[in-house]
Amino acid sequence: MEVIVVATVERYRKLASTRIQTKDSVIEIGCSTGETTRLLAPRAKSVLAIDCSEQMVHKTREPFCAFDNVQIEKADARDTELLARSMPAPDVIFLDVGGNQQLDKIATILRGLMRTYQPRLLVVRNEELATFTGMICDVERIESKPTFIKPNLRGICDDAEVVSPLMDLSDSHLVSNRAYAIRRLKNHIHNADVYDRIVAMKADSSPTISRIARGILINHEEG
Ligand SMILES: C[S@@+](CC[C@H](N)C(=O)[O-])C[C@H]1O[C@@H](n2cnc3c(N)ncnc32)[C@H](O)[C@@H]1O
């Protein structure tokens, strides 16, 4: 897999117009108003462009009606289960959820993508990641693949494969990640480990997470 990290949107869009082959299926994460989508659409075989903002997706869908090969969906980049269902084996992934986002957020998304996909090319736009990777002068190559790389996971995930990354995310130090994880874990509360994790999250340091956990457990007991 070739990974390219850029800091500026100009460089990112340049790659969208120079690195795509006509046979490529592309996932674009964080399509916003569709500027990069406009460059990908005429070059790729198919493009799945996602954004977590309903407003953006609503606005951006219309101009792409004429393109049969472009699908614009509201989705969160962390929802790799949904992504894998919509596009099981992309050749290329473009990821830009905001150039100035913290490294933690990018790392969470990259981890999910690496567990799910093995594209030919991954382009990431993020200033912190570009700064950090630019400082690297030597990398020790390791023989065994870390557990977050699961190139064989293609297509629809089973329950365990969905739950495991959510359980990891529920331990994240970012409240937004824990909130995302617990909201999705509630759909798997029949699983004893998930139930225990939600019970433990009642004592979360964030009052929001603790409130969500209590609400889920009350609903579960009533239902
Ligand atoms: C800077 S814009 C992307 C600009 C785009 N690359 C371009 O060339 O115009 C970042 C977008 O990422 C979206 N975003 C942020 N977090 C996201 C997430 N977790 N999943 C999906 N989209 C996300 C935001 O709603 C925003 O529209």
* Residue 152: pLDDT over 60: no
Model pLDDT for residues 17-34, shown as the tens digit of each residue: 999 999 999 999 999 999
29 lines ligand 1 (CB under 6 A): yes
Percent of the residues in the chain that have a pLDDT greater than 90, as a whole number: 78
Please report which confidence band the pLDDT of residue 154 belongs to, taking 50, 70 and 90 as the band edges: very low
- Asked if 103 and 112 count as a contact pair (C-beta separation under 8 A), the reply is no
Give the sign of the dihedral formed by CA 100, CA 92, CA 1, CA 107: positive
- Output the pLDDT for position 155: 42
- The Cα–Cα gap between 183 and 55 comes to 21
Whether residue 27 has its Cβ less than 6 Å from ligand 1: no
Structure tokens at 215: 């609400």
Ligand 1 atom at shortest distance from the alpha carbon of 9: 8
Q: Looking at the CA of residue 33, tell me the nearest atom of ligand 1.
A: 9
Q: Which residue has the CA at smallest separation from atom 25 of ligand 1?
A: 53
Q: How far apart are CA 45 and CA 210, in angstroms?
A: 45
**pLDDT bracket for residue 173 (50, 70, 90):** confident
Q: pLDDT confidence of 149, banded at 50, 70, 90?
A: low
d(CA 215, CA 117): 34
pLDDT of residue 183 exceeding 70 = yes
Give the tens place of pLDDT for each residue, 52-106: 999 999 999 999 988 999 999 999 999 998 999 999 999 999 999 999 999 999 9
Domains of the chain in start order, with CATH, are 2-135 (3.40.50.150), 159-222 (1.25.10)
Say how many Å lie between the CA of residue 54 and the centre of ligand 1.
Answer: 11
Percentage of residues in the chain with pLDDT exceeding 70? 93
Cβ–ligand 1 distance for 36 under 6 Å, the answer: yes
Q: Is 151 in the pocket of ligand 1 (CB under 6 A)?
A: no
Question: What is the distance in A from the centroid of ligand 1 to the CA of 216?
Answer: 29
Question: In one letter, which amino acid is 101?
Answer: Q
Q: Tell me the per-residue pLDDT of 205-214, one tens digit each, with 9 for 90 and over.
A: 999 999 999 9
Query: Is residue 96 within 6 Å of ligand 1 at its C-beta?
Result: yes
